[in-house]
């Protein structure tokens, strides 16, 4: 009799343990959050040889000073390249007067991808080159080739355009080449001081976008992005107007192995095309531009000199900037 009672108790205890275990398991299952698998972002490979070739092509025309033969040839080349890479191209023309009282018709060249999409980003570079070598010691009144200052930013964007034509990102992209950025008044100019003499193309576009009610969620300006051993610090005006975009781009660069190019340090504000895009067009825009704390100008040591030629362009730097910007685009 006692043996039967013990057996019954043991069975009862066993059932209770089993019941409690089942309840506990169900409770734990409710607290388990299923982790969604990470979506792998497929980003095309930025070809630095291709970008280098695009710099060479621009330089082969000679200095791209507004209204010159080289400028005219280069504008047609850029227009044709964007069209060949599937962009819807608009050449925006407008009359301007430069600080030296000369009259010109500027050309901003815009290549749009997926123009029907409202969700867009804008990529900028200036395509002209400096009309004087005001920081050189010889031939200071002659124009420079501008391989890095002008040519490199355009080349990176052309290579990005070539890749977009092969694989479309989810977001709409506008590639915008500004004219007359570098026709600013030199410090030793004999002409009366002219306010806002720099960045004439971006000033005009910011007031008169190529499309009515145009807006992009943010913009990225590339300027002097091909120099050897270049460092890109977080420029002050970019941090002021678009700190979240600065963080996004620099974080991407570090994540894909370009921390030696994109430095988590602040650099002073500079006047560049992004100033007008931010203040007039209202598009939060950053400037990826070389900063050298040890040079007299804080720019590339060959800035506005005749040494800004193909010897001043490095494939590794083009790759670092181009792959970073492409990663940002295809992550949207």
Instruction: Return d(Cα 62, Cα 145) in angstroms, integer.
Output: 6
- H or E segment and range at residue 162: helix 153-166
25 with 174, same domain?
A: no
Same domain as 56, residue 25: no
Q: How many residues does the chain have?
A: 332
Would residue 25 count as lying in a domain?
Answer: yes
Q: What is the CATH number of the domain that holds 128?
A: 3.40.630.10
Exposed/middle/buried for 220, CB within 10 Å: 0-12, 13-18, 19+? buried
**Residue 39, domain member (yes or no):** no
DSSP 140: T
Distances (CA, A) of 4 to 1, 10, 13, 18, 35: 5, 10, 14, 21, 50
Whether residue 259 has pLDDT greater than 60: yes
Mean pLDDT of 58-69: 98
The percent helix, strand, coil of the chain (3-state, each to 5) is 40, 15, 40
Identify the bridge partners of residue 113 per DSSP, sorted by sequence position: 173
The whole model's pTM is what?
Answer: 0.89
Listed in sequence order, the residues at least 6 apart from 20 whose beta carbon sits closer than 8 Å to its beta carbon are none
Same domain? 192 vs 275:
yes
How confident is residue 1, by pLDDT bands cut at 50, 70 and 90?
very low
Complete DSSP assignment for 205-255: HHHS-SSTT---SEEEEEES---TT--EEEEHHHHHHHHHHHHHHHHHHHH
Residue 42 lies in a domain: no
Average pLDDT of the chain is 92
Distance between CA atoms of 152 and 110, rounded to whole angstroms? 17
Nearest to 309, CA basis, from 147, 152, 182: 147
Report yes or no on 41 lying in a domain.
no
The verdict on 19 and 106 lying in the same domain is no
Q: Is residue 33 exposed (0-12), middle (13-18) or buried (19+ Cβ within 10 Å)?
A: exposed
Are both 22 and 94 inside the same structural domain?
A: no
- Same domain? For 285 and 312 the reply is yes
Q: Is 50 helix (H, G, I), strand (E, B) or coil?
A: helix
Residue 274: CB atoms within 10 A of its CB come to: 28
Q: Is the confidence at residue 324, as pLDDT, over 90? A: yes
- How far lies 44's CA from each of 49, 88, 231, in Å? 15, 21, 24
pLDDT at 23 exceeding the cut of 60: no
Pair 172, 115: CB distance under 8 Å: yes
Q: Has residue 302 been placed in a domain?
A: yes
Same domain, residue pair 95 and 244: yes
274 located within any domain: yes
Same domain, 71 and 148: yes
Three-class SS of residue 149?
helix
- Is residue 254 located within the same domain as residue 149? yes
Residue 70: the pLDDT is 98
Do 189 and 290 belong together in one domain? Answer: yes
Whether 150 maps to a domain, the answer reads: yes
Domain count, the chain: 2
State residue 40's pLDDT score. 78
* Between 7 and 115, the higher pLDDT residue: 115
Please say if the pLDDT value at position 310 is more than 80: yes
Residues 191 and 279 in one domain: yes
The residue segments making up the domain with residue 53 are 48-330
230, 267: one domain: yes
pLDDT digits (tens, 9 = 90+) for 115-137: 999 999 999 999 999 999 999 99
Is the pLDDT at 41 greater than 90, yes or no? no
Share of the chain above pLDDT 90, in %: 87
Largest CA distance in the chain: 121
Phi, psi torsion values for 149, nearest 5 degrees? -80, 90
Q: Can you state the angle between helices 69-84 and 48-60, rounded to 10 degrees?
A: 150
In a domain, 203, yes or no: yes
């Amino acid at each position: 009799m006692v043996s039967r009672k013990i057996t019954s108790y043991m069975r009862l205890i066993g059932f209770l343990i089993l019941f409690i275990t089942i309840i506990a398991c169900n409770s734990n299952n409710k607290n388990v959050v299923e982790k969604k698998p990470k979506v792998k972002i497929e980003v095309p490979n930025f070809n630095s040889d291709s970008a280098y070739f695009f710099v060479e092509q621009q330089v082969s025309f000679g200095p791209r000073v507004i209204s010159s033969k080289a400028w005219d040839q280069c504008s047609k080349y850029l227009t044709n390249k964007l069209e060949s890479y599937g962009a819807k191209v608009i050449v925006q023309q407008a009359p301007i007067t430069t600080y030296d009282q000369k009259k010109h018709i500027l050309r901003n060249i815009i290549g749009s991808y997926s123009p029907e999409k409202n969700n867009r980003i804008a990529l900028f570079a200036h395509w002209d080159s400096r009309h004087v070598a005001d920081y050189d010691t010889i031939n200071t009144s002659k124009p420079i080739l501008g391989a890095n200052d002008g040519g490199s930013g355009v080349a990176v964007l052309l290579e990005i355009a070539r890749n977009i034509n092969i694989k479309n990102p989810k977001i709409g992209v506008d590639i915008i080449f500004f004219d007359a950025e570098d026709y600013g008044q030199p410090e030793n100019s004999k002409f009366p001081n002219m306010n806002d003499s720099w960045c004439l193309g971006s000033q005009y576009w910011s007031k008169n976008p190529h499309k009515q009610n145009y807006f992009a969620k943010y913009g990225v300006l590339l300027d002097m992005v091909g120099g050897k051993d270049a460092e890109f610090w977080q420029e002050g005006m970019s941090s002021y107007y678009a700190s979240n975009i600065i963080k996004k781009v620099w974080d991407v660069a570090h994540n894909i192995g370009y921390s030696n190019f994109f430095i988590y340090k602040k650099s002073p504000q500079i006047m560049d095309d992004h100033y007008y895009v931010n203040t007039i067009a209202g598009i939060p825009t950053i400037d990826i531009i070389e900063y050298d704390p040890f040079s007299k100008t804080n720019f590339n040591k060959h800035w506005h000199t005749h040494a800004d030629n193909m010897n001043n362009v490095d494939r590794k730097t083009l790759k670092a900037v181009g792959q970073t910007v492409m990663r940002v685009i295809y992550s949207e």
